Structure 1
């Protein structure tokens, strides 16, 4: 016999169930070091409720798959289940994962096959650098990968006000990369850590395996054109870059890549570990000079301040590094010197907003 709760109208039950829905863990972990636990969550309220009865399973399942996770090695079974269960219209965000470094990085058919059936407004990819590069039609120079030992990076693409799936057919076969499939408005990139490279002599000559770095090389004035950068970058209004102690010359390439984003309004950058991340202490057991990463970070912020002020489309800059007591005052002074006299004001040091127009 159904319980009193189960006898309520489905519309009311659905409203009650909505209070159990939470943000996907991938959003909370976007600034943390990329690992295979990127989508793991302690909160399993919806899953537990779905196990209580078939009625609740039918009601909960669409919310469970609003934020779907696809292991690329299990692509066929994932799509078969989504289609068989009638869930395709509920998937609004998708996290695609491959942690297999030996997987063929040139096999990029997955996004064509998946987007033929799904139309998520947000796509997040957790994968090795070469896989992400090929997915974006940007082959990566990975000759120095041994120095960095970067196993995984995270790319997130998002678009605002997407059209319903049935109203926007995609010519997927003519899309050169995942970037071409939609007019994305937001991009976030977690490059992982460069700390291991500091243990090597003349570390600053090493080149980070990074799709953003490749774009910066393409757009640097002294470099001849070598890439056909996708036009979809022109529509980005938000860009977030996360890394752990990248070299300042690499940060310069990241900033050069902003030239492909003329509509960019908000820039967010984090170049140091989170407060509860002890990666610095771990790497200092090697031969690195512990002062080097901090000097690179300070120099990077000098470049960032100059670029933020010079990019006329920007109205807001956010720093994710003011949680570190040891460098807060230095970073504050660097940004104050670059932005304080140029029509920018900060809120609690970490968010800077342009308050005067640039003509």
Structure 2
């Protein structure tokens, strides 16, 4: 029997073995980079992510779409399960999805914004969310663009010192929430466009700012800093309903981490918290930026800031132990062998009475639950 003689259900099953997680998610904990570069033009002028075959797990799916019409029709729903787009090409993107009956097949979206798009009406994000019920929306953009989306002042007078061309914001929502409609004539604040359940914010690297005079006085260009100092009502409403939050940065200043933690303290319903303050173990970010700095960076400064940040994080975790629902803390920096013992000791020393470290090297702490006299689980204290 020839391959094309097999029932469509079996062909779909064969193709499904090439289904993968979003390629975009692979780099979520690394220094942000463009979601659209390098690029190529796809069907109907849609710009698709083009990565060398050895690095792109979706490459077999792209090859399958070129084999024949039948295989192509069966492959497209998986190929576009995770889609990347530019807001200025939104109409073409939506037309392509409708033409191939794909809107409900897309589970995650990534939009790359190179600049401001307030002139687009209705708002590109409202059209996108209304017409594609994906449960995950990621945005790659300069920090000032996130402030614009949130409708607040950017607080980025020191942006030049940090050299953060791109940052990443990602929201997750339930499938039911994804199916609700946004009123174009009564647009909500972007932060409240959906009842977002999970949020990830990757700020990128602060290393270049360490080369400036009195670096600790510099204010990080950050959506979270802007939300904190603007006392944003939309930001507070967003924080109040989050169940999961991830903060990723490369050697942020401890006073900036304190600003972020003030936002986290507003997340009373938060159940899971992930924080990462160092580069990936195999990252060359530190070496690369040291070379650019030409030796004008004291290597001890970033690590000292990191150690102080860990203590502040422990205090916030204890606060949410009593005042919130936090049940799991994930400190991803334990992957770095050189800081693992110090990090584990620092947090264990402060959390041991209320939190249990799951396993040495895991980076995961979970709140200790006790049984009351009625046999129900309660948090200590």
Give TM-score scaled by structure 1 length. Answer: 0.91
Equivalent in 238, 242, 255 of residue 261 of structure 2: 255
Listed as ranges, the matches of 1:40-51 within 5 Å are 40=51, 41-43=55-57, 44-51=59-66
1:231 maps to 237
Q: What's the CA shift for 1:77?
A: 1.5
Q: What's the CA shift for 1:116?
A: 2.8
Structure 2 residue matching 1:303: 3-state secondary structure = helix
Assess if the C-alpha contact under 8 Å between 1:66 and 1:91 holds in 2.
yes
Residue segments in structure 2 that go unaligned for 5+ positions in a row: 37-48, 370-378
1:137 maps to 151
Equivalent in 292, 297, 307 of residue 298 of structure 1: 307
Q: Does 1:351 align with 2:364?
A: yes
CA change 1:37–1:182 in 2 (3 A) is closer
Assess if the C-alpha contact under 8 Å between 2:177 and 2:195 holds in 1.
no
- Separation of aligned partners in 2, 1:191 and 1:294: 18
- Separation of aligned partners in 2, 1:113 and 1:160: 18
Structure 1 residue matching 2:247: 3-state secondary structure = strand
Equivalent in 186, 191, 197 of residue 203 of structure 2: 191
- Separation of aligned partners in 1, 2:97 and 2:18: 22
Equivalent in 251, 255, 274 of residue 268 of structure 1: 274
Listed as ranges, the matches of 1:22-61 within 5 Å are 22-37=20-35, 40=51, 41-43=55-57, 44-61=59-76
Equivalent in 207, 232, 242 of residue 219 of structure 2: 207
CA change 1:67–1:226 in 2 (3 A) is closer
Q: Provide the aligned length of Structure 1 versus Structure 2.
A: 346
Q: What's the CA shift for 1:136?
A: 2.4
- Separation of aligned partners in 2, 1:233 and 1:81: 35
1:16 maps to 14
| Farther-moved stretch of structure 1 (81-90 vs 125-134) | 81-90
- Separation of aligned partners in 1, 2:365 and 2:235: 29
CA change 1:159–1:296 in 2 (3 A) is same
Structure 2 residue matching 1:229: 3-state secondary structure = helix
2:125 maps to 111
- Separation of aligned partners in 1, 2:96 and 2:216: 48
- Separation of aligned partners in 2, 1:259 and 1:128: 26
Structure 2 residue matching 1:260: 3-state secondary structure = coil
| Farther-moved stretch of structure 1 (106-115 vs 71-80) | 106-115
Q: What's the CA shift for 1:210?
A: 0.6
Q: Does 1:69 align with 2:81?
A: no
- Separation of aligned partners in 1, 2:265 and 2:315: 14
- Separation of aligned partners in 2, 1:107 and 1:207: 29
Q: What's the CA shift for 1:54?
A: 0.2
Structure 1 residue matching 2:131: 3-state secondary structure = coil
Give TM-score scaled by structure 2 length. Answer: 0.86
Structure 1 residue matching 2:146: 3-state secondary structure = helix
Q: 1:189-233 CA distances to partner (integer Å, 9 max, x unpaired)?
A: 100000000000110111111111222335xxxxxx465435233
Assess if the C-alpha contact under 8 Å between 1:112 and 1:172 holds in 2.
yes
2:333 maps to 321
Residue segments in structure 1 that go unaligned for 5+ positions in a row: 219-224
- Separation of aligned partners in 1, 2:228 and 2:128: 30
